Amino acid sequence: MSTASPAGSREPLSTASPAGPREPLGTASPRYGPAPLRGRLRVPSDKSLSHRVVLFAAMSEGVSRISGLLDSLDVRSSLDAVAALGATVEMQRDTTGPGDSTTGRGDPTTGPGDSTTGCSDPTTGPGDSTTGLCGTIRGFGPDGPRQRHPGTASPFFTLDCGNSGTTSRLLLGLLAGYDLTALLTGDASLSRRPMNRVTLPLLTMGARFEASHDTRTVCTTENFDSLPLVVYGSSSLKAIEYRSPVASAQVKSAVLLAGLHATGTTSVLEPSKSRDHTELLLPAFGVDVQVDGLRVSIRGGQRPTAPRDVLILPGDPSSAAFFLVGAALVPQSDVTICDMLLNPTRTGFLAVMQRMGADVCVEPRTAASLGAELVGDVTVRYRPVLKATRVAAAEVPSLIDELPILALLATGAEGTTVFESVGELRVKESDRLAAIEEGLRILGCEAYSEGDTLFVTGRGTAKAPGGTAAAHTTLLRTYGDHRLAMTWTMANHVLGRDHPLDDPACRAVSYPDFLDDLKTLLA
Ligand code: S3P
C-alpha cells in the first residue's frame, strides 16, 4: 500500500490534559481534560456503497452518473480495476461536495452537487467539509470486460486490489461469469486474508482458479485461499443454492454477481443477515433480486443497465462512528453527522450506544436514489453515565467494522462489556481482536479475549487508569489497518494520551481527511 509514513509519527490532538497543557492545535480549551467534539459534519461517502456503484456501473450497458463517490485508496482500487477491465471512468474531485441524497440533486454531467448536502445550518453555515468524486462510468456492458489492446484469443487482465477485501472478493464473483483470465493481486495484508470463502462456491458454479506462482504464501492447487490468484471465468456457469457458513456481504455479493451470468436461479442463505447493499442497489441497475428472510436469489441472464437517475452516495456510518463514540465519551460534546447512511444492517453500533446509555438522536429521511437505502442525521450529546452491555452474536454483522471503536466506548462504561462471537475480527485488514486487546492495554484499559469473545471492562469514565497505562512514548500499533489507526487517534484524544501511531497514514484506505475533520470538531 502506498500510505506508509515515518514510523512513530506523532499527531497531537488534545488541547489540554489532566497533567497540564499539551501541544495546542490553535484551539485552546478554556478547561482541562480533552476538548469536546462539537459541530456538524458530513463524513465521506459510504465505502461499501462506493465499491458497489463502481462495479455495477462497470458491468452495465450505458453511462452511469455518480455524485459523491468516496475518494479513498480502497475505492481507487475498484476504479482502477474496472478501468483495466475496459470501463470508461471519468471521475473528478467534486470541490463542492456530493449532491443531497434525499432530493436527488447534484448532476455530475451538468455541474457539481448541492454543497449543503442536507447539512446546512443557518447558524453555523454548511457543515460539509468533505468532497468526493463525481463523474461518469461507461460500462463494458453485457459482452464483458474488454482489453485495451486486444490481440489474444482469451483476454487476460492483471488487477491490483491493493488493501481492499471488497474489491477482490466482489471482483472474483463478477469475473467468474465471463470467458476471460485475470490475475488478482493485493498488498501484504490482503494477501493474508481468506479467499476460500468465495472461491469454493465459485468453483461449484464452474469457475476455475490457479494459485499464482508469484505467491510467497503456501497455496496448493486445491487451496485457493489467498491472493495472488488467477481466475478463469466461464460464460457457462451453473446456478447454485449456497448455504454460507459466515454472515458475509462480500461472500453473498460474489456469489450473486456470478449468479447473474449462470443458467438458472442462484440463491445464498446466510446464518444471519449481513449488509444488504447488493440486493438493494442491483434493482437500480435493472436487475431483479428476490429477498426472502435470510435467502437472497438472483435469476441468471439478466442484463444490467445504467440507471437513469444520478447515483448520489450518503455518508459512511463506519466513518461517522469514530466521532459519535468520541462525543459520547468527552464531556460537553455535541456532534451531528449529516446525510449518513442509516441502513439497519449497518447501524447496529447506534443501538449498542443507546443500550449503554448514550444520548443518540436519529432523524431518518428516505434517499431519492440508491434504491431503498435510508439516510438521515445522527446526533450524539455527551451524557455522564454509560453502562456495560452484552453484544450478542446475531448483532455482530451489523456492527462488524465498528467493533474497535465500540471497544473504546466500553472503556468508559461501568462494568464489563461482552462482545460475543467476534472471531471474524481475526481476518479483517489485521487481526483486529489481538490488536484491540494490545492497544487498550497500552492505554491502561482492561481488555481480554476468550475464544471468540472479547471482554472490555470500563471504569464509568473515559479516563484510562494512569497507574497501569504504558508510558506515553509507547507505540500504538495499527498493523496498517485504517480502522485501528482511527480508533487509536480517537483513544489518544479521549483518554488524554499522546502515544505515537506506527502508521497513521493508513487511514487513507477509507478516510483520508479523518484528522482534519476531527480537528474541525475540536475547534
Ligand atoms: C463489506 C463487508 C464486510 C465489512 C467490510 C465491507 C462489504 O466484510 O467488514 O468492511 O462492503 O461488503 P465481510 O463481508 O467479510 O463481513
- 401 touches ligand 1 (CB under 6 Å): yes
- Given this chain, do its domains 47-94+132-299 and 314-522 carry the same CATH topology? yes
325: which residues sit within 8 A by CB, 6+ positions away?
349, 353, 380, 405, 406, 408, 409, 490
**Distance from Cα 165 to the centre of ligand 1, integer Å:** 8
Please tell me which residue in 128, 276, 339, 401 is annotated as part of the active site. Answer: 401
With a pLDDT cut of 70, the percent of the chain lying above it is 82
Would you place residue 143 in the very low, low, confident or very high pLDDT band (cuts 50, 70, 90)? confident
Query: Would you list the domain boundaries of the chain?
Result: 47-94+132-299, 314-522
The answer to whether the bond into 228 is cis (omega within 30° of 0) is yes
Q: What is the pLDDT of residue 48?
A: 98
**Distance from Cα 276 to the centre of ligand 1, integer Å:** 10
| CATH architecture of residue range(s) 47-94+132-299 | Alpha-beta prism (3.65)
**Distance from Cα 250 to the centre of ligand 1, integer Å:** 6
Would you place residue 142 in the very low, low, confident or very high pLDDT band (cuts 50, 70, 90)? confident
CATH top-level class of 314-522:
alpha beta
Ligand 1 mutation target, pool 248, 429, 510, most atoms within 8 A of CB: 248
Question: Whose Cα sits closest to atom 15 in ligand 1?
Answer: 248
- 369 touches ligand 1 (CB under 6 Å): no
Q: Which atom of ligand 1 is nearest to the CA of 400?
A: 9
Cα–Cα dist 370/281, whole Å: 6
Mean pLDDT of the chain: 87
Q: Which atom of ligand 1 is nearest to the CA of 250?
A: 14
Q: What is the pLDDT of residue 8?
A: 44
Would you place residue 469 in the very low, low, confident or very high pLDDT band (cuts 50, 70, 90)? confident
Beta bridge partners of 120: 126
Q: Which atom of ligand 1 is nearest to the CA of 248?
A: 14
Range 204-225 average pLDDT: 71
Would you place residue 371 in the very low, low, confident or very high pLDDT band (cuts 50, 70, 90)? confident
- 185 touches ligand 1 (CB under 6 Å): no
Please determine, for residue 462, whether its predicted confidence score (pLDDT) is greater than 50.
yes
**Distance from Cα 401 to the centre of ligand 1, integer Å:** 8
**Distance from Cα 487 to the centre of ligand 1, integer Å:** 18
Active site residue 516: no
Would you place residue 214 in the very low, low, confident or very high pLDDT band (cuts 50, 70, 90)? low
3-state secondary structure of 379: strand
- 278 touches ligand 1 (CB under 6 Å): no
Question: Whose Cα sits closest to atom 10 in ligand 1?
Answer: 401
Q: What is the pLDDT of residue 2?
A: 34
Q: Which atom of ligand 1 is nearest to the CA of 247?
A: 16
Please determine, for residue 106, whether its predicted confidence score (pLDDT) is greater than 90.
no
What is the signed CA dihedral for 239, 241, 244, 250, rounded to 10 degrees? 30
- 45 touches ligand 1 (CB under 6 Å): no
Query: What is the pTM assigned to this prediction?
Result: 0.90
Range 113-141 average pLDDT: 60
Range 451-475 average pLDDT: 80
216: which residues sit within 8 A by CB, 6+ positions away?
none
Cα–Cα dist 420/498, whole Å: 31
Please determine, for residue 471, whether its predicted confidence score (pLDDT) is greater than 90.
no
Would you place residue 459 in the very low, low, confident or very high pLDDT band (cuts 50, 70, 90)? confident
